[in-house]
Amino acid sequence: MNNNTLVETIARLIKSPKGILAMDESLNTCNRRFSDLGVSQTEEKRREYRELLITTPSLEKYISGCILFDETIRQSTLKGKSFTSVLTEKGIEIGIKVDQGLEDYIGHPAEKITNGLEGLERRLSEYKKLGATFAKWRAVFKIGEKTPSDDCIRENAEFLARYALLCQTEDIVPIVEPEVLMEGAHSQEKCYEVTARSLDAVFSELKKLDVFMPGVILKTNMVLAGKDAKEKSSPEEVAKMTLKCLTESVPRDIGGIVFLSGGQSDEDATKNLNAMHNSGPLPWPLTFSYARAIQNQALKYWAENPADIKGAQDLLINAARNNSEASIGKYKK
């Protein structure tokens, strides 16, 4: 394990005013999004779409790293150039989703546990050879009357910590992602409480395993009222509660913090990030790692106009630019 390598990778990943493009949708998720838009769910279509994303001109101006899925990290452009070399030539870091998805958490109806520790060492060393410098593991917590349970939070946190340690052993930066889902009608206060509980558990497990904190990126949800809540939180409220929660639960020496968009509208995800950067100096680097809030428009356009790649890429770069501006508090609608 080389701490300098981890710190240097993070410095490139959180270089202002850039953020991370998450394009690591699993086969199921990617196919579901395609199916909703009437796109056929084939390996070739997924390849074609991902080629469109990574070959977007000037992507590197706003995007420092792309998180890929196992299928994608092995794919190439139509002309035969590997996706990894396309990204490397643009100076974009290669990330890889290494968890293997969600499973029912036995004895805890409606809760999920994230799997993927089995064989992880071997997979990490293969991904490293393919050019990956960072990785991602996502745990999910759904807010319900009795969920998430302490058991579910603790066990997912233990897995995240073991994953993080294995990544660092391979000199791969771990993104640890405990996501509190937006689904539901819960209040912003409830989201705050659950986010704080999950972050506290994650950092306590990371500490137990002596994971090198400046070599870790936290990927987290913003602290928001649920999607179906009667009252929506304003960007200022989101910024205030999210920063309070992060300040109380995240160690100061963490390498960086990035947000998922979590089903917020594109505009909300951008405005909320922007508001955080207008709240005074922050103790850690803070930027975006969005999938939907960057891809939504481009994917929809491409589904309807498959021959107009440039049109879809223009929408993608526009969303990336908006979030880049938000990452320095300079976004204007």
Give the active site residue among 25, 93, 111, 177. Answer: 177
Q: Which two tokens stand for residue 177?
A: 């992602």
Those residues with Cβ within 8 angstroms of residue 153's Cβ, 6 or more apart along the chain or in another chain: 141, 178, 197, 198, 201
Residue pair 181/130 in contact by the 8 Å Cβ criterion: no
Q: For residue 219, list its beta bridge partners.
A: 258
Nearer to ligand 13P, 85 or 115 (CB): 115
Binding ligand 13P (rule: CB under 6 A), the pick from 112, 123, 138, 186 is: 138
Site for ligand 13P contains 191 (CB under 6 A) = no
Residues 252-291 that bind ligand 13P (CB under 6 A): 260-262, 290-291
Give the active site residue among 205, 219, 271, 325. Answer: 219
Q: Which residue type is seen at 154?
A: R
Residue pair 287/318 in contact by the 8 Å Cβ criterion: no
User: Between 1 and 30, how does the x/- string for binding to ligand 13P read (CB under 6 A)?
Assistant: ---------------------x--------
Site for ligand 13P contains 177 (CB under 6 A) = yes
Residue pair 92/63 in contact by the 8 Å Cβ criterion: yes
Q: Please count the CA atoms within 13 angstroms of the CA of 314 that sit on its side-chain side.
A: 5
Nearer to ligand 13P, 5 or 100 (CB): 100
Nearer to ligand 13P, 170 or 177 (CB): 177
Nearer to ligand 13P, 39 or 258 (CB): 258
Is 177 catalytic? The answer is: yes
**Residue 214 DSSP label:** G
Is 97 catalytic? The answer is: no
DSSP of 173-195, one letter per residue? EEEEEEEEP--SS--HHHHHHHH
Minimum distance from CB of 224 to ligand 13P (Å)? 12
Termini Cα distance of the chain: 44
Nearer to ligand 13P, 2 or 28 (CB): 28
Count interface residues toward ligand 13P (CB under 6 A).
Answer: 10
Minimum distance from CB of 129 to ligand 13P (Å)? 24
Minimum distance from CB of 291 to ligand 13P (Å)? 3
Site for ligand 13P contains 112 (CB under 6 A) = no
Those residues with Cβ within 8 angstroms of residue 197's Cβ, 6 or more apart along the chain or in another chain: 148, 150, 153
Q: Which two tokens stand for residue 62?
A: 């706003």
Q: Which residues bind ligand 13P (CB under 6 A)?
A: 22, 138, 177, 260-262, 290-293
Q: Which residues are catalytic?
A: 177, 219
